[in-house]
Structure 1
């Protein structure tokens, strides 16, 4: 089988699984990311996310993470919704949390892709990653030519904007590799994301101080939220899309076709009072398999209280 055929087969399978994009690159040491990442950690910008400071060498070198790692297949999965919350006064839920937790959805697709490669192309072993292990996913997506890192530190695609998840499949075989040219920075002089961030969490180009980030505060913080940020959350109750919503490249965003990401029928119709008076049974019904479970019912109520809505 010719190498181009192998690559085409893998990408066709990825497309059939509903993935937005796919690229294949060899495993290597991320030397260009080392200084940037270590500088971010030394400035304590990771806050309570202690896991970010662990296994730093594995983050930079996947060969330490997966035995005999040879190739990385990087995929994108669109999650931009067809519609958003109807009540403009209601607390705002990040779009990525509307449906089933993306960790489950995307990891299942990567497992199916691995099984396809193993059974239809050549025997191999591998491991899927979806924001769940020390992998610098945006760095690999950039290296694979799938986009550039914007001022808000998100990967931005010329074709898809930034409302997508990134996943990786690391395998122990050499594959026909793409030879991508780095996508140049297309942000130019635009500072819309920096200007729009209510807490001023984007402290430099491609540098986000997580401690000021609304997503970090409403999802990662386990105790009380930072009182110095009170009144600055712009009604965000779980996660935050502000820097993406204002990005001109997201004018290209098209609704996803992944049924698992569709919200519970009641979710987008909740009004302000519904959120304020939400009880545990409704929470469990709406967010049974959702990423919102990461904060839990008590975390959501804490966030609502911080917003002054409960």
Structure 2
């Protein structure tokens, strides 16, 4: 009785805090994902993302992250923007338009955890936002929030894929939700549209060829083989999401902290080329773009301008 009651309480509060959806799964070993992750790493599809090799066991078992863990609460937060960049410019992935999502989501997660502790009692748990060894998409799929598509993004029939994923891992037993079915069907739009052919097979993405990797994670020079293939993306890439038919259901977010700076929307290519460090720090204050730093962004712009 309490499991059902607590599960419903948590989901209602998550929606009140602005999350788009909330699902629950049992904290257990990810048996299906384990061999897939191992194979992906062995084939060096993670490129220079060495952190993907670390904490292999913890990525697959949340009980190693939170002692006595019984439930994984997965949450999604919409970031689809109302207004988008002008077309004739260097492009930034939509998720980075506003304030760094790590800050925004962690604030909401901490509020949710406090609510659980205040209303249910002594519950131990941790909040996770894309910065710890947790397979976000796998847990969200297990929680029924969508299916992992051919482009390796979590996709929802109701809202598409322009959303962040986060988790609460708790030592509280809750009612687990069932998984949903795959609705990609015979569609190959994401595979056909990828400028660098990073989606080498349905459901298998070679991270080292992905534009997001090349413009953010890669610290060395972008290899010449990608000259003319990066499609004016200077930070991240949205191509496989933009062409996904399920994103016709994406609706603009209502999170003020994700609102973009005017320069980000309106700058043309020449203005980006002339970007100074001072302007970079102003436009991207508290932004996810700071991850690539000023030097990294200018490296990308120089590469695109050759």
TM over 0.5: same fold? yes
Unaligned runs of 5+ in 1: none
Alignment partner of 1:13 is 2:13: yes
Shift of 1:3: 3.5
Counterpart Cα distance in 2 of 1:41 and 1:93: 28
- Secondary structure of 1:51's counterpart equals helix
Identify the residue that residue 178 of structure 1 maps to in structure 2.
176
- Secondary structure of 2:167's counterpart equals strand
- Secondary structure of 1:15's counterpart equals helix
User: What does the per-residue CA deviation read over 1:196-221, in whole Å, with 9 as the maximum and x for residues that have no partner?
Assistant: 00100001111110111000000001
Identify the residue that residue 235 of structure 1 maps to in structure 2.
232
Identify the residue that residue 65 of structure 1 maps to in structure 2.
65
Alignment check: 8 A CA contact 2:3 2:173 kept: no
Identify the residue that residue 78 of structure 2 maps to in structure 1.
78
- Secondary structure of 1:25's counterpart equals strand
Alignment partner of 1:149 is 2:167: no
**Equivalent position to 1:272, from 266, 269, 273:** 269
Identify the residue that residue 93 of structure 1 maps to in structure 2.
92
Alignment partner of 1:256 is 2:256: no
TM-score by length of 1: 0.96
Shift of 1:178: 3.0
Counterpart Cα distance in 2 of 1:36 and 1:178: 24
Alignment partner of 1:214 is 2:193: no
Identify the residue that residue 24 of structure 1 maps to in structure 2.
24
> Judging changes above 3 Å, is the alpha-carbon distance between structure 1 residues 2 and 171 closer, same or farther for their aligned structure 2 residues?
closer
Shift of 1:90: 0.6
Counterpart Cα distance in 2 of 1:220 and 1:297: 14
User: What does the per-residue CA deviation read over 1:277-309, in whole Å, with 9 as the maximum and x for residues that have no partner?
Assistant: 111111111100000000010100000001016
Counterpart Cα distance in 1 of 2:209 and 2:229: 10
Counterpart Cα distance in 1 of 2:38 and 2:295: 34
Counterpart Cα distance in 2 of 1:172 and 1:184: 28
**Equivalent position to 1:306, from 278, 286, 303:** 303
Of stretches 202-211 and 244-253 in structure 1, the one that deviates more from structure 2 is: 202-211
Counterpart Cα distance in 2 of 1:184 and 1:70: 24
Shift of 1:4: 2.8
Alignment partner of 1:128 is 2:138: no
Of stretches 60-69 and 187-196 in structure 1, the one that deviates more from structure 2 is: 60-69
Shift of 1:2: 4.0
Which stretches of structure 1, 4 residues or longer, exceed 3 Å deviation after superposition?
none
- Secondary structure of 2:289's counterpart equals helix
Alignment partner of 1:46 is 2:46: yes
- Secondary structure of 2:51's counterpart equals helix
Shift of 1:179: 3.2
Unaligned runs of 5+ in 2: none
- Secondary structure of 1:251's counterpart equals helix
**Equivalent position to 1:199, from 196, 211, 218:** 196
Q: How does 1:274-289 map to 2 (within 5 A)?
A: 274-289=271-286
- Secondary structure of 2:126's counterpart equals strand
Q: What CA RMSD, in Å, does the superposition of the two structures yield over aligned residues?
A: 1.1
Identify the residue that residue 55 of structure 1 maps to in structure 2.
55
Counterpart Cα distance in 2 of 1:16 and 1:265: 29
- Secondary structure of 2:39's counterpart equals helix
Counterpart Cα distance in 1 of 2:273 and 2:49: 29
Counterpart Cα distance in 2 of 1:109 and 1:281: 31
